Amino acid sequence: MTDDVTQRVADWWATSVSRVEPGVIELRGLPIQELLGGTSLTEAAWLLLRGERPTARQVQLLDAALVGSVDHGPHAPSIAVARMAATCGVGLNNAIASGVNVMGDVHGGAGQQCLELYSELLDGAGDDPDLTAATRATVARWRERSKYLPGFGHRFHPRDPRRDPLLGLVRRAVDDGVVEGRFLAAGLAVEAAIAPVPMNIDGATAVIYGELGFPAPLARGLFVLGRTVGVLAHAWEEMREGRRIKGPIPPEIRPTYRP
């Protein structure tokens, strides 16, 4: 009888990610000591999310997507919010959490939405290697909702400097049989269909996440992981400088009052 209650409580928190017993920590069935020394943080992320170890070439692609996301400038709310938080007398973890918390549908969700777009396009194409019709139909459907397609165009960069190197890596991976290339084809097909608007970082990382087999919501989850690096670096810089209570603009400029 005791066992029944204990079991129900234990089951309430059941998980396939980790198992812990006195002296034992296993991640996805692997003793943690086997992961210390030859495993990178990115490999550990793949293992914990998918339950198996990645190959070196898969890791290279994932790292490129993550590194491409660490920081795109101090204007980003995730960065700015973390910096302001760091000056308010909270812990470094709280400052990071404040930055992560604003990576919402609009600020952190474009990669996820773009991967959904690609997936819908590829589902539409089915076995047909020619994506033209499926691209036209998918783009039209998405444009009914918004003239902006997630993953394409940038309000700041005429051409995102991360597009070419990321797509180049994917192309080489396709050539070497590491990935299939269907998401790359989908991304290029959309880009061609809406020319001259170029693919941006979210469109390029969505190609990578799709090729690697990650479901769309993890495009956001992995963006968060990558961006945490930039958030940490900016929050730490601000904390080290010791400024107190940083508002959004210099205090001598008073926000306009609009009754």
Please report whether residue 213 would count as binding a copy of itself according to CB under 8 A: no
CB 113 within 8 A of CB 151: yes
Please report whether residue 197 would count as binding a copy of itself according to CB under 8 A: no
Q: Can you tell me which of 55, 107, 122, 211 binds a copy of itself, judged by CB under 8 A?
A: 107
Q: Select the span of 127-135, 139-147, 183-191, 212-220 touching a copy of itself (CB under 8 A).
A: 212-220
**Residues 154-183 close enough to bind a copy of itself by CB under 8 A:** 155-159, 161-162, 164-166, 168-169
Please report whether residue 249 would count as binding a copy of itself according to CB under 8 A: yes
Please report whether residue 250 would count as binding a copy of itself according to CB under 8 A: yes
What's the DSSP call for residue 148? S
- DSSP string covering 28-90, please? TTEEGGGGTTT--HHHHHHHHHHSSPPPHHHHHHHHHHHHTTS-S-TTSHHHHHHHHHHTTT-
Residue closer to a copy of itself (CB basis): 186 or 225: 225
**Residues 32-91 close enough to bind a copy of itself by CB under 8 A:** 32-33, 35-37, 39-42, 44-45, 48-49, 59-60, 63-64, 66-68, 70-77, 80-81, 83-85, 87-91
Among 233, 231, 232, 203, residue whose Cα is nearest residue 219: 203
Kind and range of the H or E run holding 24: strand 24-27
Q: Can you tell me which of 129, 146, 195, 245 binds a copy of itself, judged by CB under 8 A?
A: 245
Report the nearest approach of a copy of itself to the CB of residue 149 (Å): 15
Among 205, 180, 194, 179, residue whose Cα is nearest residue 138: 194
In angstroms, the CA 13 to CA 104 distance is 27
Residue closer to a copy of itself (CB basis): 106 or 140: 106
Residue closer to a copy of itself (CB basis): 30 or 137: 30
Report the nearest approach of a copy of itself to the CB of residue 21 (Å): 7
Please report whether residue 137 would count as binding a copy of itself according to CB under 8 A: no
By CB under 8 A, the count of residues binding a copy of itself is 127
CB 184 within 8 A of CB 171: yes
CA terminus-to-terminus distance, the chain:
66
List beta partners, residue 183. Answer: none
Residue closer to a copy of itself (CB basis): 98 or 138: 98
Report the nearest approach of a copy of itself to the CB of residue 221 (Å): 5
Phi-psi sector, 203: left (phi>0), alpha (psi -120 to 50), beta: alpha
